[in-house]
A = this chain, B = another copy of it.
Amino acid sequence: MTGGERRPTLADVAAQAGVSVALVSIVMRDAPGASAATRERVLEVARRLDYQPDSRARLLRSGQSRLLGVVFGVQHPFHDDLLTGLYDAAEKIGYELTLSAVTPRRDERTAISGLLQDRCAALVLLGPQLPTAELATLAGRLPVVAMMRTVRQRQVDVVRTDDGRGLHLAVDHLVALGHRDIAHVDGGRWLSSAERRQGYRDAMRRNGLQAYERVVTGGFGEEDGARAARELREHPPTAVTVFNDLSATGLLDVLRRDGLSVPADISVVGYDDSSFSRLAHIDLTTVAQDIDTMATLAVARAVERIDGAQVAHREVVIPPRLVVRGTTGPPRGAA
């Protein structure tokens, strides 16, 4: 029953409309070379047969695929937001997106290889964990844009947030509130942990607070933040900047169970503006990445490479934005 009938092709439409296959193709692509009258007639037939072009055949023949492959991770709520932006950006310039997910049981290599078989024209990788060497090989075959990660390799384009600046914003905000004793909980071995840590250090020095510099090893998850909080228990600072929002919530939880009041006793700043950080419950002050700009630039960069343009800048660094919510305030003494 279902699926019994073959889907209509250009040939079917052509036969019904009494024209050649080539002409129907012209009409469907909205290409010049058909009179208004026939155009109308062909479209009418196509609509009646519910004709849908076959993108496989289309792409196969026309070489240029106007298709961008995107690799994203299912664990990152952040990636979902980025996908939204990428769809918008791609649609605006007439490109299609094809998605391939990295899951706990499906690694990046598998995800990428699927996209290569689909012959997309370029790859956009969201926070790739692949070693630089492998990214370089890949970039030798087709344009590759890495997002949210630095790649010291001239073949690979990079679009990322200025994480250093993100921590400047966080620290400056705390200093403006009157804090001096500000610690940082880093991301351990995670991508961009080093840069955020360095951003913290620079900002502290610029504010003349090198005496207060203190970095605690953290990580990606909630439990990492909790562990860091316990480590800070002995000599609690008046404020903490944390590698990401998830870690920050873990830290917050321990602080509150210890009877500390946030932000009166201690202020906390996260990173990412994750969806849950907006929950009234958590209400976390955090550093937000400019998703729309990043998405637009990533797509633009990929397309420039596809079109063979010699791209001048290989790396685009976008300034982040501080989102002030309820977990930051003046320290007790300063009130």
Contact = CB atoms under 8 A, between A and B. Distances in A.
Contact of A281 (B60, B91, B100, B252): B252
A100 B55 CA distance: 15
Contacts of A222: 279-281
A267 B142 CA distance: 55
A44 interface: no
A54 B7 contact: no
Interface size class of chain A, counting residues whose CB lies under 8 Å from the partner chain: 35 or more
Nearest to A98: B98
B75 A80 contact: yes
Given A104-B84, A308-B3, A280 B226 contact: yes
Nearest to A282: B281
A274 to B, nearest CB: 9
Interface in A46-81: 50, 52-57, 59-60, 74-75, 77, 80-81
B87 A81 contact: no
Given A80-B74, A276-B276, A308-B3, A53 B117 contact: yes
A119 B9 CA distance: 12
Given A2-B155, A54-B117, A143-B2, A249 B279 contact: yes
